[in-house]
């Protein structure tokens, strides 16, 4: 990429802020509620941008559960979205289709420009922006903006490399999307410091979008990206599948502290230390996340690398018109 190249993107006309995708992750639940209350008093932020606030899984929120039948945040593959609703369809499948109609359809021109999905974790991860892509320049610029605006909050970018697998989460419904994850917070609890972090994060995201829409040129640079490499499960009993060890006290709460080969991973109930047997030092995160016990994940491991990002700005109206004309003439040729 050329140093002076500026990449242009269409303006953001619709941004969705989603909370309660997991009903017991409370920062997003309460933040969306407060934003909906405020909406009744004041309208949009100007720049003709619409902010849509959504409580993704209202039944799970009401019962204080992660989900009712199945994890909503795994229900957004094309296959799951395109079936028809049967009588015994899980609640979350019906809901994912409703959300797809509201914010999507996924992959179409009508989808919202950005989905920001709010989550909490029991792991000591600070604030994380989680995305399927490490080359969506818009998301990476938003991330850099958050880091600069919130220097007291450890903020990191996590990249799930899903090249072989299709994206399955709510944030994949928008043209651009990411999850905003804040921790540590027990599920079912609201900690004021975590709420404040989440609230500030969302405000900075929306501020950035307004700035982008206004024509501001965001200079290029580079950011650190953590790309997920693998997950490690707990040691389990062969018959009952119950876990037989806890995350080692020397690993507990040390998210993003480099894990070296032979470092302690687990402490068994009989006092034995089990060690990391990988060859490569990697960065651990989602260490002891409650909801991942059932998914077979005690800790996720990532490689860190510096990613160069180009300068970006919004497409002007002339540029947008020129692009439209180009598309029309291509269609005519066909």
- Examine residue 246 and tell whether it contacts other proteins (CB under 8 A): yes
Residues 44 and 214: their CA atoms lie apart, in Å, by 15
Contact 173, 101 (CB under 8 A): no
Contact 273, 266 (CB under 8 A): yes
Bond preceding residue 265 cis, omega within 30 of 0 = no
Contact 264, 299 (CB under 8 A): no
Please state the φ and ψ torsions of residue 202, each to the nearest 5 degrees: -65, -40
In the bound state with other proteins, the residue whose beta carbon lies nearer, of 52 and 243, is 243
Strand duo 126-131 + 264-268: pairing:
unpaired
Interface residue with other proteins among 84, 163, 242, 318 (CB under 8 A) is: 242
Q: Which of residues 74-133 bind other proteins (CB under 8 A)?
A: 122
- Residue 123's contacts (CB-CB under 8 Å, 6 or more residues apart) are 183, 184, 255, 285, 286, 287, 288, 289
Please work out the total of residues on this chain that contact other proteins, with binding judged by CB under 8 A: 30
Q: Which of 291, 297, 231 is nearest to 259 (CA)?
A: 231
Q: Which of residues 123-182 bind other proteins (CB under 8 A)?
A: none
In the bound state with other proteins, the residue whose beta carbon lies nearer, of 80 and 247, is 247
- Examine residue 58 and tell whether it contacts other proteins (CB under 8 A): no
**CB of 33 vs other proteins, minimal distance in Å:** 7
Element (H, E) at 283: strand 283-285
In the bound state with other proteins, the residue whose beta carbon lies nearer, of 28 and 184, is 184
Q: Can you tell me whether residue 30 is helix, strand or coil?
A: helix
Span from 26-34, 43-51, 165-173, 318-326 in contact with other proteins (CB under 8 A): 26-34
In the bound state with other proteins, the residue whose beta carbon lies nearer, of 153 and 190, is 190
DSSP designation for 233? P
**CB of 193 vs other proteins, minimal distance in Å:** 5
- Examine residue 269 and tell whether it contacts other proteins (CB under 8 A): yes
Contact 122, 22 (CB under 8 A): no
**CB of 35 vs other proteins, minimal distance in Å:** 10
**CB of 11 vs other proteins, minimal distance in Å:** 30
181 as an active site residue: the answer is: yes
Q: Catalytic residue among 92, 166, 181, 334, which?
A: 181
Tokens of 97: 């289709």
Residues in the chain: 334
Q: Which of residues 184-223 bind other proteins (CB under 8 A)?
A: 184-193, 195
In the bound state with other proteins, the residue whose beta carbon lies nearer, of 100 and 197, is 197
Please report which residue ranges of 112-238 form alpha helices under DSSP H: 137-149, 192-213
Residues 312 and 316: their CA atoms lie apart, in Å, by 12
Per-residue b or e along 34-61, where b marks 16 or more CB atoms closer than 10 Å to that residue's CB: ebeeeeeeeeeeeeebebebbbbbebbb
Task: Please check if 22 is assigned to a binding site.
Answer: yes
Interface residue with other proteins among 60, 75, 129, 247 (CB under 8 A) is: 247
**CB of 189 vs other proteins, minimal distance in Å:** 5
**CB of 269 vs other proteins, minimal distance in Å:** 5
Task: Please check if 204 is assigned to a binding site.
Answer: no
In the bound state with other proteins, the residue whose beta carbon lies nearer, of 4 and 239, is 239
Q: Can you tell me whether residue 99 is helix, strand or coil?
A: helix
Task: Please check if 159 is assigned to a binding site.
Answer: no
Interface residues with other proteins (CB under 8 A) are 30, 33-34, 64, 122, 184-193, 195, 242-243, 246-249, 252, 267, 269, 288, 290-291, 293-294
Which residues are part of a known binding site for Zn(2+)?
22, 25, 119
Could you list the residues known to form a binding site, using ranges.
Answer: 22, 25, 119
As annotated, the active-site residues are 181
């Amino acid at each position: 990429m050329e140093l002076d190249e500026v990449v242009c993107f269409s303006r953001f006309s619709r941004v969705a802020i989603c909370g309660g995708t997991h009903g017991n992750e409370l920062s997003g639940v309460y933040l969306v509620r407060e934003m909906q209350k405020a909406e009744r008093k004041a309208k949009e932020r100007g720049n003709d941008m619409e902010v849509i606030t959504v409580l993704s899984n209202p039944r799970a929120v009401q019962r204080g559960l992660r989900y009712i039948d199945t994890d909503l945040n795994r229900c957004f593959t094309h296959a799951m979205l395109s079936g028809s609703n049967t009588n015994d369809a899980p609640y979350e499948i019906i809901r994912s289709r409703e959300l797809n109609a509201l914010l999507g359809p996924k992959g179409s021109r009508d989808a919202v420009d950005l989905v920001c999905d709010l989550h909490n974790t029991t792991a000591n991860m600070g604030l994380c922006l989680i995305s399927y892509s490490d080359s969506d320049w818009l998301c990476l610029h938003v991330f850099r903006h958050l880091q600069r605006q919130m220097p007291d909050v450890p903020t990191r970018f996590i990249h799930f490399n899903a090249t072989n697998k299709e994206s399955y989460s709510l944030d994949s419904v928008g043209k651009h999307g990411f999850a905003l994850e804040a921790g540590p917070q027990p599920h079912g609890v609201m900690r004021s410091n975590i709420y404040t972090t989440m609230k500030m994060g969302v405000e900075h995201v929306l501020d950035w979008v307004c700035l982008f829409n206004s024509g501001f040129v965001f200079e290029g640079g580079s950011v650190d990206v953590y790309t997920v490499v693998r997950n490690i499960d707990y040691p389990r009993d062969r018959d009952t599948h119950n876990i037989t060890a806890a995350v080692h006290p020397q690993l507990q709460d040390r998210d993003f502290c480099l894990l070296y080969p032979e470092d302690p991973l687990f402490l068994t109930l009989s006092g034995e230390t089990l060690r990391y047997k990988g060859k490569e030092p990697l960065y651990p995160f989602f260490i002891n996340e409650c909801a991942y016990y059932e998914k077979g994940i005690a800790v996720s491991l990532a490689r860190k690398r510096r990613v160069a990002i180009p300068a970006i700005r919004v497409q002007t109206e002339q540029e947008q018109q020129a692009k439209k004309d180009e598309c029309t003439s291509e269609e005519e040729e066909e």
